[in-house]
Each structure stands twice: as C-alpha cells, then as structure tokens.
Structure 1
C-alpha cells in the first residue's frame, strides 16, 4: 500500500444528523487539506455537497468543536473560522451572522440554538430562522454549557464548571422556555461533583432522557418531570467521552424503542431498548460506531467500521426481523478496495496489582500464525479516549511493510467504567507508560517482537506517554511523538480553556519530559499552527536534545494544526515515521549510527 493510498483512504465522517427526510454529515477529505464539507443524502437523490466549495465547516468552540452545522427548511447554518454563517441555497454567498466561537447548533421552534464561547465563559444563544437574524443570549456561565435541547415550552442543557471536565462532573438543567422568550425557573435534574450527566434530549413521550455515570457506567436515564429512573442498566458505556459538543449516542425509533451505542473495551455495538426495558443486540457488521445516531422512522443512520471495513455512513433498517444495512458512503477508494489487510486480535496482559491491560495486535499483513516482526506500540491520544476496533489505513501502511502494530488501552482509557477512567489522574507518564511497556515485554517474552525493534508512538497525550517511555529504561528502541505534550505544568497554562481542568488533574505523575533522561532516538512531528500543544515546547526539547547530542529528528509541518493525520501533510508524516524506524533498525544492524539533529 502506498502512502498516497493510506492518506486518500483516511476520509473522516462526523456529525451525522437527520432532518427533512434526509441525512447530513461532515466529510473531511485529506486531498482537500482536511477541510470539512457538509454532505446530504436523500432517497432517490443520492449524495450532494451542500456547503460552499473550499469552505471549511469547522468549529473551535471548546477547542475540539462539535455541532458545527444544522439545516432548517432547506437553509444551512454552519460554523467556520470567522463565526456563524447562513447559506440559503448551495451556490449562494455566505452570510456572516455573528463573529465568535459557536457550536452545538440545534434547530428549535422558529429559531437556531447554539453555544457561544469566549474567554469570559459560555452563553446559550438563539437566532431567529427567518427575517433579519437576531441573536439573543439566553443564559451565561463562567464555566461551560452544552446541548441546548428544546422541548414543549421547556429547554434542557448541560453545564460544568471551569475546574471540571464534562466526563468528570457535568449537570443537566431544565427551565421553562418559549421561542423568542426568556428562560425561567432553571432546575438541576442530574449531575454533580461525582457524576457526569450528558446528552439530554426530549423523548416522544415528553420525558427528558440523558446519560449518567452515577452507577460507574454511562447509562440511559429518564426524567418524567418528577423522578429520575434508569431505563436499562448495563455494564457498558452507553455514551462517548464528551470531547466534542453535539454527540448523539442514542435516538428514538418510531415504534417507541430506543437505539443506543454501547462500548465495552475497544468494541462498540448497537443495541435496541424495548419499551419494557429489555435489551436486544442488533446484528450489524460493525465493531466501531461513532456517537452520531440519526433515527428516522424505523431506520438508524450511523457511522460504522470494523477491522475489515473502512469507516462508512450507513443506514440500518430495523423494521421486521433481521436488520438490513444500506451503505451510503465509504472512505475506501477503488485502488485499495479488496486489498489484503491485517485484522487485530485482542491481547490481555496482567500488570502489577492484578490489573489487566487490553491491547489490539495487528500482525504484519499476510503473516502466518507464528509471526515474528518489528513492533510499533501505539499510545492513543486523550488520554481520556480508547483504541477502537476499526480499519485504520495508517496502521495498515505499517503492517503492509512488515511491522506489527499494537494499540494499548492503558489506565485512564474509556470503555472500562468511571473508576478506570479516573485512575490516571496524578499518575500520568507513569502508569500509562508501565502498561505500554508491559505489553511490549509480553510480546518480547513470547517471541512475537524482535529485540531492539520495538518502538512506541503516540499523538497528543499519547505523544507524552511515548516520550516518557524512552526517558527511562524499558523495551523501546525509539519513539515517535506526534503533536506531543512535553511539560504538563506549562501545558496547563497554554492549553485552551476547555482542557485546563484536564491538565490540572492529570499532572503530578512523571512531570516534564527531561532531555537529560531521554535514552532512545526520538522523532518529533508537530504542526506549527497547533493550538492544543504549542510547537514551541517541542522546539525547546529538541534544542536541548541537540545540545546533549541525543539522537532525534524534528519534522515541523507548516500551517498544520493539532490533527496531523487528517491534514494535507499526513503523507509526509507517515513517510518520516517509517524512515525513522528503518534508520534505527539499520543502525542497530550495521553499527553505523543514526543521523540525528535534523529539522525539516
């Protein structure tokens, strides 16, 4: 597989939603520099882009965005770098409604609801859908707001404080409200210091539904105006960690049932909850489903993938017996459809304290059962995230070149309950590194990994894990750090407002990556426009390594932000990473040493 194939196949689909008998979603295409386009699918019409050519539909609210478009009566409302826009018809000019950071766009009764962020805090705002748009602030907070969801004469929303992350402490509020009016008598329904209540939405029965982790797992609850009750308790995560606004991990079918995405470890599946609370699994060909369900009648639109199917937008028909899946869009292209791929196997490794670490092992493509190869251990970003059981063409790029790729769900990952998720706080750079090293040691001990050819790689928070892993004795021969965090204390000062609480809770473990302790070659890959982990920190560490004559390379990508993998320079990053591993392997074989200190 060529690097061009791997990049071209990395189309990203997000923010699926239904309306007007159609499905809408965002497509971020690497060949377009990662710009996101709103695409519409309607039966009999197929797919059409409805946002302006060359315009990037993206939200930077809360740094990670979300809910960046809505469609009402054929009019597209969307967010771009300049603020909130309206487009009456495809091909019409953009109308700037208001400058600022907007997200979680939601259509109400004759108005658009949204979150607007500033350094002073958040506001819930409304904009009239007709006539000259009039923007009004409904409520404000020094902290954070999300999920404005209108019901009959009532409004629900979420709120969390400046010192919290929404997966730690988030509240659901309701208040009386009529379109064009004012919020009255706000009341907290759920959430608090030890509870994350997220994704409120009004059901067809008039009750308010939401997800809460009060049981230790995000499960679905129902408030009937008087009491809160669990809808269907399950030992699994029925909501995704809310990095972005606008998630929809569940939706309502026309027959009164509720479709829900459940995550258990690295696997995600679709279930349907009957009206009596019974849970039924839906047999779909997906092991990874994004938190964007869009139900219409007895169908559910979703974004799914599996180890052998690239991410695709699909429609699951749930009427009658066996579900039928209709694929509407797929990121695979003709040159690689049907290509041989490496399928992962779950590996469980015991670590100190009797805890188990789960990893997904992708053997070299076409290998036999007794394979033995160089290994790339990948620490996922977040660290409040997880490895996902889906086709990853960038992993396949390496497995097709004789490497095994291993994704590790280290301590702090999601998919294992609240306690596991919180356990990395104050231990960052320690327990996550231990877990990755334990998986590497197991692969070496069982003869899978080749000594001196085990590498660790991570992006963002995973980049910090990778750097700390080569700053101490261990099994790793080299590290690749993409968009890496270097100094948790300084990161807490420079990180966007949304993530400051995360930085404060994580730090206190291994601390700053110290150049003097780095023992193995390092490749840094970083975008100069990264606002989450600023490039200056990586430049400084690289300069310190240069002064110490420590083997390293620095690839700075001009005008690239935090997400290198979806940028126009993704191919250059993949080629540099492959060259890095091959150079280390060649140096170990020939003894010639590794060329270092280069800045590209």
Structure 2
C-alpha cells in the first residue's frame, strides 16, 4: 500500500523485523561481545562475538535465551573468559565450556552483574530477602561463596588489584536517588575485609565504579546535579572534569559502562544532555574534547580496545549499530560491526525529527521531538500521536525508531515528550515528579499537544496519546481530564500507584512509593475518550489484573475500552513476538476514532494522510 504522495507504508513485519536490539557490549579476551535480541525470532536473545578478520557469530547455544531477571530489569547477564561463556538464563547461572556447545546449569537463582575477576566469576545474586555478591570458581566443579550480603541492593562488583568495589542502595531508595560506592580489601578466593563507603548517600547517586589503569577508582556522582566523573586515589575523592551533561545513565540495569580508559591515558565518555548523546574524550590534564560522530544516541555500554572504543550508536537516520571508533587520530575512523536494518529497508525513506521547546507557566521549557509524516512538506498538517516514554526517569532518544516510522509512513506525526522527571536534565529535574505523578507529566504532554494545535499542525479529534508502563499511567490520566486528546493507547500500563507499590518487584517498590501522591488511581468514571489497553498476561512489573479491573469498570459505565491481551507476553510488548499485533491494533484504534469523528461531523474534512 502506498500513500498519495508516493511514500511507501512501512509494513508491520518490517517495523518489527527492523527492531533488532543490541545491548551489554563488552570486550573479551578474543574480541567484542554483545547481546542481540531479534524480534522476528520471538524476542530471543543471543550472545554475539566479533573478532577482527572473522566477523560476527553467535556464541551462545542455539535456542538458549540469555536474559537476567535480577532486579526485574536485568543487566550483566553474561561474561566470557578463555573460551568459556558464563551467562544467565531464566532459572539460573549457566556455563558453556566452548562457544555454541551444550550449556550446563551452575546454580539455580536470580543472577546478574557478571564480572570476571582473577580466576573467579563475580556476580550479584538476588534473594527474596536481599542481595548478595558471590564468587564462583572458574575451573573444575564450580564452587560458589558469598562475599557480601545486604537487605537492600548491590550493583555489579568491580575487582581491582587488592580491592573490590561495588555500589549499594537500600530497599527504601532507587539507585538514581541514593546510591553508594563501597570499596574493600580483597584477594581472589579470599574474603572481603574492612569495607569503606567512598561516596553517595541520601542526596547523592554515585554509580558505575571502574578501576583505572592508574590504580584509582573512578565513578560517576550527581552531587553537583549532573552525573560527572570523580576519582578516588586511595586518600581523597576529586573531580575529573566538569561537564554539563550526564556522564552516566539512570541505572535501571546492572553493569552499565558509560566511560572507559584508552591505552594512551585518555578517558572516553558518553554524555547525555536532553535527548542527545555525544562522545567526548577527557585528556590527562582534564581538557574535554568532543568526538565528531554520526550518532546522536549512544547506549551506556562502551568497550575499549587499545585506543579504539566500541559502542552501540544510532541517529534519526541510522538504526542502532555496533561500531568500533578508532580514536588514535584527530579524525576518528568508524567501522560498523553490526547494523539492525534488514536488507528490505536499506535506503528506506524516513521521517527525521525536529526539536520543539514549549515554555510552561513556571518558566521552564518542555522539550519534544516531533516526527512529521514521512515525506511531508514544511507546512504539514496531520493527525498527531503524542508518545509518553516509560520510566518515568527514562527520556526521549534521538534515534531511528522503526515503530514511529510505521505511523509516520501512514500520514501521522509522532511526538515524543521529555516531561518533568526525565533523565538528561540533571538531578533536580529528575526528582521533581515525585509526588506529582499523573499531574505534571500530563500537563507537559498536554501543553505540547496544545501548542501543535495552536500552530495549525493538527486539528481537534486527531490528537492521540499513548504510553507504555509508567507512560501508560500518564496516558490514562491524560484522558481522565478535559484536554486535547481524542483517544489513548496504554501499553503495559500502571493503573493504581498504591496497588502497584504492593505488586511491583522489590527493586521498584521505592520508586512506586516516591512517585505516588499525585493523581492517584485512574478512575474509570473520569475516562471518556476511546481507550485501547494492550497488556501481556505474563507481565510481572505491572500485573494484568489491574488493567482487566479498569476495563470491567469502564464497561459497566458504558464506555467499554478495546482490550488486547497478549498471552505469555511480559512487560516489554514492543520487543515481544506479538509486537506486530500490538502495532496493528494501535493503528486501527486511531483510524477508528477518526472515522467515527468524520461520520459524526460529515461536514468536516479529515487531515491529509489519515486513512
């Protein structure tokens, strides 16, 4: 099918098949390794290795899904050493002695943050009553022993010469609110002795510790609002280089690596400010130099090889790629090792976003990324889908999103909003949504929609809002008040913050407690515009029962929503095997609303591009 202006509609299959995800990039003894999640393979995740001169190959056993459920969001789910793959599956820790061979269970349990030490594997093990840092022997029959225990949470352990470093936070906190860096003397196969807290506390998030080649311990701290780099030289903690941006990612997962050490003494860092990422190098004298790259979004997984750094990068015109950047010269050389587009989308025409800034009453600005309909003229006018990112500490990302292109190729404009609480604007901004959830985030999305209406970019009756997870909660509250939205789509949505605080995995209970106190439970009686609810029946983050109860209440009031329940799908619908069905349902939902409005007001003309 083609639009009238000659733009080809992106098929559901293409939108899903193109959504290959790369994660957890790291350097190993014999190459680079990363996780590859392929939606067209049912969302399964494999470990892929790149070796110079050999290219890429899967090294995890065929059919084995490498995935960690630690802290509900995972992270650090594999490590490699001397031809052996250690990885986490659904029910425990596994070992494959030769790449691709059969895999053996080492221990049942919930593991993550896998790190190779001197002759042993270090990891975080999550129990019902708290976390442990454990050590596992690499040879012979694996023996596991506990090094440190806590009723709270641990980040990935980081061994150094004679030392062990880790992050920790209490069960009452989230790691982006109050996270501590600890060090202790430690020798392999020994015990942890005399632990000392170096940084972090109730008003400081200290994350991503790494031992530098100079023997100092580096970490990122937001003690001055932005996550910036600091070092501990054994005596004192000092700032490395002030940067107006986030030098670390909000730690939803374990084992992020937002910076790394080049062989020539420089530090390479991925920095986020607003929706944009950039790569910088910090010289030994503290000078910060930008690196000119074709990427505007960089995942927090940098892997250094000599004077080169491997990264997962993307831009509005390039889907995620694994690239190796040679930083030896002033003019960096980029070698693409893997790219997520399949052959059928090479050269496909895409919609590129523009940044929109709208000032609110308090004087601050709300930033949004506006994707016009594909191929639209400068004075475009179209139906608009306002997308609310999940988290809500996540952020809009300036990268090619094939599922957004699915809609823009059909004449819709897609608008991503960095509402209050998003990451990329400093600690104060990130914390400002606490106690205001369902209020200020809704206000920010509403004011962006109203701006587009007043600018003539769209018309009433063709403005929609959609969100997933916490973004689904925002979308629901947006249609539970008077406003510009003609319909909403809520995917894997949270409905009741108080109930969510009881059912959410323990990692996020503190988040639920801090966010609530704003709009409260979504009240069915307040919801009037048409509603589509999409939810996986196996969702453990936002349980399906809450959405089903809301649907029943709406039905009893005569405003039955559309409901799409996806059997055996978890919290991440967009990367599941049913992602295509969800996209089609969402598209049909908006078209149905517009068709109904056209029938009710036959004298009105639908905006160009709606079908």
Which residue number in structure 2 is paired with residue 80 of structure 1?
A: 89
Listed as ranges, the matches of 1:234-249 within 5 Å are 234-249=243-258
Of 413, 418, 437, the match for 2:422: 413
Is the contact between residue 3 and residue 397 of structure 1 (CA under 8 Å) also seen in structure 2?
yes
CA distances 1:162-206 after superposition (whole Å, capped 9, x unpaired): 000000000000000000000000000000000000000100000
The question of 1:436 aligning with 2:445 is answered: yes
Is the contact between residue 210 and residue 222 of structure 1 (CA under 8 Å) also seen in structure 2?
yes
Is the contact between residue 24 and residue 40 of structure 1 (CA under 8 Å) also seen in structure 2?
yes
Which residue number in structure 2 is paired with residue 575 of structure 1?
A: 584
Which residue number in structure 2 is paired with residue 7 of structure 1?
A: 16
Quote the Cα distance in structure 2 between the aligned partners of 1:166 and 1:405.
Answer: 31
Which residue number in structure 2 is paired with residue 423 of structure 1?
A: 432
The Cα of 1:146 is off from its aligned counterpart by: 1.1
Quote the Cα distance in structure 2 between the aligned partners of 1:116 and 1:21.
Answer: 27
Instruction: Tell me the SS of whatever aligns to 1:354.
Output: coil
Quote the Cα distance in structure 2 between the aligned partners of 1:26 and 1:376.
Answer: 31
Quote the Cα distance in structure 2 between the aligned partners of 1:221 and 1:355.
Answer: 29
Which residue number in structure 2 is paired with residue 528 of structure 1?
A: 537
Quote the Cα distance in structure 1 between the aligned partners of 2:601 and 2:368.
Answer: 34
The Cα of 1:592 is off from its aligned counterpart by: 9.7
Which residue number in structure 1 is paired with residue 169 of structure 2?
A: 160
Quote the Cα distance in structure 2 between the aligned partners of 1:413 and 1:320.
Answer: 35
Is the contact between residue 358 and residue 365 of structure 2 (CA under 8 Å) also seen in structure 1?
yes
The question of 1:464 aligning with 2:460 is answered: no
Which residue number in structure 2 is paired with residue 557 of structure 1?
A: 566
Quote the Cα distance in structure 1 between the aligned partners of 2:204 and 2:30.
Answer: 36
Listed as ranges, the matches of 1:176-575 within 5 Å are 176-575=185-584
Instruction: Tell me the SS of whatever aligns to 2:512.
Output: helix
Instruction: Tell me the SS of whatever aligns to 2:383.
Output: strand
Which residue number in structure 1 is paired with residue 71 of structure 2?
A: 62
CA distances 1:385-412 after superposition (whole Å, capped 9, x unpaired): 1000000000000000000000000000
Which residue number in structure 2 is paired with residue 598 of structure 1?
A: none
Quote the Cα distance in structure 2 between the aligned partners of 1:200 and 1:382.
Answer: 23
CA distances 1:321-349 after superposition (whole Å, capped 9, x unpaired): 20010001011011111100000000000
The Cα of 1:92 is off from its aligned counterpart by: 2.4
Quote the Cα distance in structure 1 between the aligned partners of 2:118 and 2:13.
Answer: 46
Is the contact between residue 551 and residue 560 of structure 2 (CA under 8 Å) also seen in structure 1?
no
Is the contact between residue 491 and residue 534 of structure 2 (CA under 8 Å) also seen in structure 1?
yes
Quote the Cα distance in structure 2 between the aligned partners of 1:302 and 1:225.
Answer: 30
Quote the Cα distance in structure 2 between the aligned partners of 1:79 and 1:551.
Answer: 42
Listed as ranges, the matches of 1:35-114 within 5 Å are 35-114=44-123
The question of 1:126 aligning with 2:135 is answered: yes
Is the contact between residue 349 and residue 358 of structure 1 (CA under 8 Å) also seen in structure 2?
yes
Quote the Cα distance in structure 2 between the aligned partners of 1:132 and 1:592.
Answer: 74
Quote the Cα distance in structure 2 between the aligned partners of 1:355 and 1:209.
Answer: 33
Q: Aligned-pair RMSD on alpha carbons?
A: 0.9
The Cα of 1:551 is off from its aligned counterpart by: 4.2
Is the contact between residue 520 and residue 551 of structure 1 (CA under 8 Å) also seen in structure 2?
no
Which residue number in structure 1 is paired with residue 609 of structure 2?
A: none
Is the contact between residue 84 and residue 99 of structure 2 (CA under 8 Å) also seen in structure 1?
no
Q: TM-score, normalised by structure 1?
A: 0.98
Quote the Cα distance in structure 1 between the aligned partners of 2:554 and 2:411.
Answer: 30
Quote the Cα distance in structure 1 between the aligned partners of 2:118 and 2:99.
Answer: 24
Quote the Cα distance in structure 1 between the aligned partners of 2:464 and 2:554.
Answer: 19
Aligned pair in 2 of structure 1 residues 11, 523: CA closer, same or farther (>3 Å)? same
The Cα of 1:95 is off from its aligned counterpart by: 1.0
Quote the Cα distance in structure 1 between the aligned partners of 2:123 and 2:158.
Answer: 10
Quote the Cα distance in structure 2 between the aligned partners of 1:190 and 1:72.
Answer: 31
Is the contact between residue 178 and residue 204 of structure 2 (CA under 8 Å) also seen in structure 1?
yes
Quote the Cα distance in structure 2 between the aligned partners of 1:177 and 1:91.
Answer: 34
Which residue number in structure 2 is paired with residue 171 of structure 1?
A: 180
Listed as ranges, the matches of 1:14-33 within 5 Å are 14-33=23-42
Quote the Cα distance in structure 1 between the aligned partners of 2:181 and 2:316.
Answer: 36
In structure 2, list runs of 5 or more residues that go unmatched: 1-9, 603-611
The Cα of 1:351 is off from its aligned counterpart by: 0.9
Of 140, 152, 166, the match for 1:143: 152
The Cα of 1:591 is off from its aligned counterpart by: 2.4
Is the contact between residue 112 and residue 156 of structure 2 (CA under 8 Å) also seen in structure 1?
no
Quote the Cα distance in structure 1 between the aligned partners of 2:64 and 2:536.
Answer: 21
In structure 1, list runs of 5 or more residues that go unmatched: 594-600
Quote the Cα distance in structure 2 between the aligned partners of 1:21 and 1:280.
Answer: 30
